């Protein structure tokens, strides 16, 4: 019988926005561990100020909408989250660039925090605005939604199981699990953050320019700048036409302000100008 082909795992590139996010989250994780050992009281107040609490965010602590996403508690939490961010984020970064991935991640994290905080004030699903949220899963769910929408047929290996599954089905399973947790008392706000981050990521993918907000803004900026330069060129052309008219000479410019060579309208086969 022929030998089976060995299964190899190729690690994706570790660079750009993915590397910065992984380094930042990992550094903060170990820093909190050290602070808890050296200054537990200070760490307690620091976490109260930086973790997401809808009640505090509504009363002015709006920085919590972003800072909460850099705090993880538990070695398996930080490990699984960063590995997922590395493998999935590198796919998007390779296809659309570092700027696109950074925008998607933070729009999902911040947008998910805003939406989840607003929902918590309704007290549905036993939610409370005094609940606390942390972790990168809101931003990561936005990345997963992008993988499902733009790389849905790509297969992932469910390590350590030798099972392959398409990205769109894997993301659908993750969303269903998060929905189930929302209906449970424990961990409902964290699951709501994940679903809200996925929804924010979906809106970003649907309505933002294909290569990101910054690329769209830069395109608009350069478009406006070029329109202004064309206006100045047309204005200068009109002034020059008036000036040359006063000198008894006629010059012509097109609608874009470009000079029209009078010889360009002559028939090249006309030999009357020759001696």
Number of neighbours of residue 189 by Cβ within 10 angstroms: 25
Q: Per this entry, what is the length of the chain? A: 275
Sign of the alpha-carbon torsion through 60, 66, 70, 117: positive
Contact 52, 119 (CB under 8 A): no
Instruction: Please tell me the distance from the alpha carbon of residue 147 to that of residue 143, in angstroms, as a whole number.
Output: 6
Instruction: State the pLDDT at residue 197.
Output: 94
User: Mean pLDDT by 10-residue block, N- to C-terminus, for the chain (275 residues)?
Assistant: 48 87 95 92 92 93 94 91 92 89 94 94 87 92 93 76 81 90 84 94 84 56 67 74 72 68 58 51
pLDDT value of position 153? 84
To the nearest 10 degrees (0 to 180), the angle between helices 16-38 and 40-50 is 140
DSSP 3-state percent helix, strand, coil across the chain (nearest 5): 65, 5, 30
**pLDDT score at 90:** 92
pTM greater than 0.85: no
- What pLDDT is attached to residue 12? 80
Q: In the prediction, which pLDDT does 239 show?
A: 74
Position 273 scores a pLDDT of 47
Answer for the pair 72, 25: CB distance below 8 angstroms, yes or no.
Answer: yes
CA 237, chain centre distance (Å): 44
Domains defined for the chain, CATH in brackets? 16-208 (1.20.1540.10), 219-265 (no CATH)
């Amino acid at each position: 019988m022929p030998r089976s082909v060995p299964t190899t795992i190729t690690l994706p590139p570790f660079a750009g926005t993915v590397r910065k996010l992984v380094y930042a989250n990992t550094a903060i994780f170990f820093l909190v561990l050290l602070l808890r050992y050296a200054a537990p009281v200070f760490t307690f107040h620091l976490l109260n100020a930086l973790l997401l609490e809808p009640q505090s965010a509504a009363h002015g602590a709006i920085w919590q909408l972003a800072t909460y996403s850099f705090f993880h508690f538990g070695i398996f939490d930080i490990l699984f989250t960063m590995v997922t961010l590395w493998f999935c984020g590198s796919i998007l970064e390779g296809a659309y660039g570092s700027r696109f991935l950074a925008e998607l991640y933070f729009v999902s994290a911040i947008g998910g925090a805003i939406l989840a905080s607003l929902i918590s004030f309704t007290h549905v699903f036993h939610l409370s605005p005094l609940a606390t949220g942390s972790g990168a899963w809101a931003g990561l769910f936005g990345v997963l939604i992008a993988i499902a929408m733009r790389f849905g047929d790509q297969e992932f290996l469910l390590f350590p199981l030798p099972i392959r599954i398409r990205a769109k089905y894997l993301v659908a399973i993750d969303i269903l699990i998060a929905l189930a947790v929302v209906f449970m008392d424990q961990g409902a706000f964290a699951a709501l953050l994940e679903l809200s981050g996925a929804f924010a990521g979906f809106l970003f993918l649907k309505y933002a320019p294909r290569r990101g907000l910054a690329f769209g803004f830069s395109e608009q900026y350069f478009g406006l700048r070029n329109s202004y330069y064309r206006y100045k060129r047309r204005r200068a052309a009109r002034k020059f036409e008036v000036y040359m008219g006063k000198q008894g000479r006629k010059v012509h410019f097109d609608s874009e302000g470009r000079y029209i060579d009078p010889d360009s309208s002559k028939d090249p086969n006309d030999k009357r100008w020759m001696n």
